[in-house]
Structure 1
Amino acid sequence: MVDVGDLAARLDEAARDGRAIDPLTGASPFDVATAYAVQRAVIERRRRRGERLAGVKMGFTSRAKMIQMGVDDVIWGLLTDAMLAGSSVDLSALIHPRIEPEIAYLIGREVRSVAEVESAVAGVAVGFEVLDSRYRDFKFTLPDVIADNASAARFGFGTWHPPRALPNAGLLMEIDGRPVQTGSSAAILGDPARSLRAAARLALGAGMRLEPGWVVLAGAATAAVPLPKDAHVRVTGAGLGSVEVTT
């Protein structure tokens, strides 16, 4: 048996210190259920320091990533208010940050079932997520990345728009005015609405409900790219405007 509290402390301290550690499963193998228990313990440590839950992020939302990791379902992590980026991201607190374009959903009312999650959406926006695995060289097993809160670090979003279907919205990410990634929301499980439903399913399965004011990041529409210092990033979504952040 592994010590969930000890593993959570190691991950939490690595994040606070900005220090990479070896994958936890190398010394103490554990399964996916235990990994989620570690994830929740990490978030509980953050909550005891005053952070508030702010939403859910989805991971492994592309078929290629599922195949790479040998899984047939998405994974998820939790967002807190301390992860919300303003106009800038302080990279000095991160280990090896990467950024990816996202579709973001704003939850307008408590979600009590998967069937009602789409009607509970109050807005949609283009967004971004900054990933920062706490593991050395960004290498990990499936249980490792789940325990590490699915590599969540920072997130942001643009202006909220009225809810709409986004099965094939074009996305462009630029760094210092240079296009670095282009893609479509169709890369997110074929339609980001499927990821939204998965978020509700996984949260409810864990005894949680998506809450009013929470944000759901549906998952990456492209591969993540390294986030350099002193950079300006802009993510634009067709019909959704843009969101910008500097480092």
Structure 2
Amino acid sequence: MSIDVEALAATLDGAARDVRAIPKLTEAEPFDVATAYAVQRAVIERRERRGERLAGVKMGFTSRAKMAQMGVDDVIWGLLTDAMVAGPSVEVSGLIHPRVEPEIAYLIGREVRSVADVESAVAGVAVGFEVLDSRFADFSFTLPDVVADNASAARFGVGAWHPPRDLANAGMVLEIDGRVAQTGSSAAILGDPARSLRAAARLALGAGITLEPGWVVLAGAATAAVPLPKDAHVRVTCAGLGAVEVTT
């Protein structure tokens, strides 16, 4: 039986727009990861037709523990658009069950034509955050489901950009309303977020997508994600990169 990629994309897109959790897509009809990425692209293309523009790439499953949990041996990735950029606040009522996590962000300064080219193409690094929002009920999914769902991407923000530097083991703290919610190190991101950056280039180029000047690469989470409540103040700090803040 052939999989209707556009129908699955419409289901996911509708769930996000209606702020409505849905059952896992694979419950009705199993499909593989390659099909899942086709669904992901179809969802993004629907958003582009509504006027959104690609703004970067986000990485997922960048901790060895998460890979083991999901039974995979490689990272996953999704696409960022300009509509996902958070301002000083994020309206969580427009999300299903948002969670927030601390990130290392890379700013692409010129077109990336190869994996070997990506590190020299970085124009800046920053501390960031990502707001995740699985469209699936109970934040529960299989690998193909989460890939199709654009790796649970919802919103993201970054702090001030700094010149590129070694970030292999930078301490990070996630605070909500002045209380520490998570602490960790950038080393949790594949041992060094630069590895995740290279993986982003590898996967994007393999899918026929070129990392463009001005795009952001979110290298992955340094800690577990935590629920993001309404009327909260979030602050993420990273040694050497300062802080980024957002309210809900």
Secondary structure at 2:79 match in 1: strand
Matching residue of 1:135: 136
CA-to-aligned-CA distance 1:191-224 (integer Å, 9 cap, x gap): 0000000000000000111000000000000000
Secondary structure at 1:160 match in 2: coil
Matching residue of 1:240: 241
Are positions 1:27 and 2:28 aligned together?
Answer: yes
Secondary structure at 1:159 match in 2: coil
CA–CA distance in 2 between the matches of 1:194 and 1:238?
19
Matching residue of 1:38: 39
* Unaligned residue ranges in structure 2 (runs of 5+): none
Are positions 1:112 and 2:113 aligned together?
Answer: yes
Are positions 1:60 and 2:61 aligned together?
Answer: yes
CA-to-aligned-CA distance 1:163-204 (integer Å, 9 cap, x gap): 111000000010000000000000000000000000000000
Matching residue of 2:152: 151
CA–CA distance in 2 between the matches of 1:197 and 1:215?
13
Q: Give 1:130 shift.
A: 0.2
CA–CA distance in 2 between the matches of 1:224 and 1:208?
28
Secondary structure at 1:229 match in 2: coil
Matching residue of 2:192: 191
CA–CA distance in 1 between the matches of 2:217 and 2:56?
6
CA–CA distance in 2 between the matches of 1:138 and 1:244?
25
CA–CA distance in 2 between the matches of 1:196 and 1:121?
10
* Unaligned residue ranges in structure 1 (runs of 5+): none
Matching residue of 1:205: 206
Matching residue of 1:215: 216
CA–CA distance in 1 between the matches of 2:56 and 2:29?
29
CA–CA distance in 2 between the matches of 1:202 and 1:35?
14
Matching residue of 2:102: 101
* TM, length-normalised to structure 2: 0.99
Secondary structure at 1:236 match in 2: strand
Matching residue of 1:70: 71
CA–CA distance in 1 between the matches of 2:208 and 2:81?
18
Secondary structure at 1:61 match in 2: coil
Runs of 4+ in 1 over 3 A off after TM superposition: none
Q: Which amino acid in 1 is paired with 2:103?
A: E
CA-to-aligned-CA distance 1:19-53 (integer Å, 9 cap, x gap): 00000000011000000000000000000000000
CA-to-aligned-CA distance 1:77-96 (integer Å, 9 cap, x gap): 00000000000000111000
Secondary structure at 1:223 match in 2: coil
RMSD: 0.3
CA–CA distance in 1 between the matches of 2:166 and 2:53?
29
Matching residue of 1:5: 6
Secondary structure at 1:65 match in 2: helix
Q: Which amino acid in 1 is paired with 2:139?
A: F
Secondary structure at 1:92 match in 2: helix
